[in-house]
Amino acid sequence: MIKRISELKIVDKPLSWYDWIVFFVLAICCPLFFMQTDILYTGGSSFAILNGHVLDFYDYKNQFIGGNNYFISIYTVFAIWNIPIKLLGLYPFPTTEVHFITAMWFKLLPCIVYLISAFVIYKICKLIGMGNLKSKLCAYTFLTTPIAFFSQFIITQYAVFCLVFMLLGIYFYIKNDLWKFVLFFGIAITFKFFALFFFLPLLFLKEKSYKKLVVFCVGLLLPLVLMYLPFLNSETFDSVILRVGFNPANYMGALGFNIYFHVNLSVFVLLFVVCSAWAFFTNPKDKDDEVKWMFFFTAVTVFLCFGLSMWSPQWILLSVPFLVISTFINKKPDVFLILDILLMFFFVTFVIYLWQLQIDETLLETGILRNMTNATPWPLSMRDIIPIKDTSLMYSAFSVILLINAVFKHPKFCTEKLNEEIEPVWNLIRIRFIAGVSIFIIPAVICLVAMLFIQ
């Protein structure tokens, strides 16, 4: 069956202008029709910085917009992006009540960074010796990975800021420039703490000197410290960052074994330490072997972070480059491309039930059709169309696929040479993109039709 899919004569070339047209049409339409409102809070909060409130940012903006448990790095990026809006004088104070065009301006920034991330992936693939065509195909496969596309163009979040700095760190890691690797991962941590869990196994794989390990870890934390120091006397910063901001870490400690009364053995911590130790005791025989081990350990980290822990849907984007690149150096890339479609199915089914009325057909209520969709209740929901209500089963299936990715991305399952040509899978990549994205879009469109024409 896999061979038949690969041999379909949709387009004979690995990449054509048809592929880019389909991608960009969907990449433009989805942000227009779907909107998750978190970006309005973050983009709107950034006007506090443009008003000159930097050192008192959290206390000042909290007078207008509450919440937003992020470090100031995210708001600073949006503030720079929003300088043209500020110059127009449209929003004198932080606000979430913005014009639809302004909302689209907010959403454009992470979408551009997403495209930049694909370019960095292309450079990484070239650097490890994949060759030009294979590297381009890998970058395109990242862009069209269904769960990544969902995160970036349907709910349009900004985990991609963390991702692009992680990828830059990986690029310099492969070039053996460890201080730049540390610097970029240190910046990435100020956007999402997940970067730390990818950093440590990679550092232990490359560096075996105890003294240098300590120095690099201290260097990693310096950007984080710089984000803390100016706000230590802020009550708002204390409440929304120090107390709430570590929720991902709490999620990772949720799975464990009760040892005695309130003593709990965290499965995540246990396996993560084992993974890091394994990396430390691994000595790759050459550069290609190091790359294979590197992406194996990142695949294991993906499973630990997203297969044994709870997460928010946008965080999954952080896993995608590592899953994609490791697929392209595997002996059976077609298997993992098909698994990506199943991964999207279990992901969407889990998300629409767990984040009911937040990430489902209601995303259409704040998009370009908001005046037509938010006036009356929905006569049909996505949960009616995909009636699989067992979230535990869906999460377990999602986790199993990540585990398969981790186990069978081991170097023994990789190609002998990284520049080896892979079998023609480009038609499978196309099917994966359309089928995967359709798992969310088609039920949402059916709900929209029911709203507009049936009731």
338-363: pLDDT as tens digits? 999 999 999 999 999 999 888 999 99
Q: Which pTM does this prediction carry?
A: 0.93
Query: Nearest 10 degrees: CA dihedral of 402, 408, 410, 413?
Result: -150
Q: Can you give the residue range of the structural domain that contains 375? A: 2-454
Burial of 391 (0-12, 13-18, 19+ CB in 10 A): middle
Closest CA to 272 of 256, 283, 260: 256
The confidence score (pLDDT) of residue 310 equals 86
In this structure, which amino acid lies at residue 122? Answer: Y
Query: Nearest 10 degrees: CA dihedral of 373, 379, 384, 385?
Result: -60
Does 299 have pLDDT greater than 80? yes
Residue 265 DSSP label: E
CB 313 within 8 A of CB 404: no
Q: What's the distance, CA 34 to chain centroid?
A: 18
pLDDT band at 446 (very low <50, low <70, confident <90, very high): very high
Does 115 have pLDDT greater than 70? yes
The confidence score (pLDDT) of residue 263 equals 75
Per-residue pLDDT of 253-290, as tens digits, reads 666 666 766 777 788 889 999 999 999 999 999 999 99
Per-residue pLDDT of 414-445, as tens digits, reads 998 888 777 778 899 999 999 999 999 999 99
Does 408 have pLDDT greater than 70? yes
Q: How many CB atoms lie within 10 A of CB 204?
A: 19
Q: What is the mean pLDDT of the chain?
A: 90
Buried b / exposed e over 331-364, threshold 16 CB at 10 Å, is: eebbebbbbbbebbbbbbbbbbbeeeeebbbbbb
CB 195 within 8 A of CB 165: yes
Closest CA to 385 of 340, 339, 445: 445
When divided into structural domains, the chain yields a total of 1
Residue 450 DSSP label: I
